């Protein structure tokens, strides 16, 4: 098999194939952004069908969460935590939220109550 024939075969693989997924995951973010600007959605991290399906699942989970919140009003009822979105291949996990220190909370309280004037 020639190198040209191999390249043609690789280029014709479906976006959700293991080979294309591995190539996309190894692509730097700058190159992906450039491809997106040139209008090449087929080179995105997931195929369009997979993106839409993940979005649909995220919305259904969010609606279920809102329904549980609306119907769980009462004393002593523990509120459910919001759902996590589906992790997309190649996407970095969300950064953890930083907790406010006691000193920062005290400074904010002073500022809100007019102590900065």
* Per-residue confidence band for 39, with pLDDT thresholds at 50, 70 and 90: low
Torsions phi, psi for 79 (to 5 deg): -75, 140
Distances (CA, A) of 31 to 24, 36, 37, 115: 10, 9, 10, 49
Can you give the pLDDT at residue 43?
Answer: 52
Q: What is the pTM of this model?
A: 0.47
- Confidence class of residue 3 from pLDDT cuts 50, 70 and 90? very high
Span 47-100, pLDDT tens digits? 778 788 989 999 999 999 999 988 887 777 788 889 988 877 656 666 777 888
């Amino acid at each position: 098999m020639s190198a040209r024939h191999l390249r043609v075969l690789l280029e014709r693989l479906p976006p959700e194939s293991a080979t294309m997924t591995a190539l996309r995951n190894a692509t730097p973010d700058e190159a992906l952004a450039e491809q997106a600007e040139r209008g090449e959605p087929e080179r995105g991290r997931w195929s369009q069908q997979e993106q839409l399906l993940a979005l649909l699942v995220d919305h259904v989970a969010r609606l279920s969460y809102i329904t549980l919140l609306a119907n769980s009003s009462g004393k002593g009822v523990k509120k459910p935590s919001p759902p996590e979105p589906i992790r997309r291949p190649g996407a970095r996990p969300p950064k953890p939220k930083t907790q406010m220190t006691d000193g920062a909370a005290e400074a904010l309280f002073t500022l809100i109550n007019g102590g900065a004037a």
